[in-house]
Structure 1
Amino acid sequence: MISIDMTKARQIKRDMIRAERAPLLSALDIEFMRAVEQGDTAKQQEIAAEKQRLRDATQNPGIDAAQTPDELKDLNPLSV
């Protein structure tokens, strides 16, 4: 019988989320700098909030609550 190490699986899921969010954060960095150049503080706050949401994705409680690899696979904390 195959045994899955869920602790390791959760860490792998977090690493996958980090890899997936990296280009999203980079794109938001560019948008943020444009908003700074334009003096658009409302847009800066909006972008900062979205960046924080992406950073918090690895702390999604569903990751720790998942009991099976399929539950982890189905979890997508980056989606809105």
Structure 2
Amino acid sequence: MTTLSFAVAGLHKPDRIVPAVRQLGSRHVGYGVQPHHYQTVGAALLWTLAQGLGSQFTPEVEAAWTAAYTLLADTMQS
């Protein structure tokens, strides 16, 4: 969660977080993480947010979290 919080806090200045996110992605390769795992994690994240936020998990909130996670996952895999 600390890494996710760091990344989300830095999304307004992606150039500051890209190096750390890429390093995180490199470490994940060493753990055996494969590209399809990112889809599973993204789906689990969105499900968890939907459960936790309830009616506050609007389509706009879902779209924002989807965009944020996609940016992070794509950067980790680059």
Q: Above 0.5 in TM-score?
A: no
The structure number with the bigger radius of gyration is: 1
TM-score, normalised via structure 2 length? 0.37
RCO comparison, higher one (Cα < 8 Å, 6+): 2
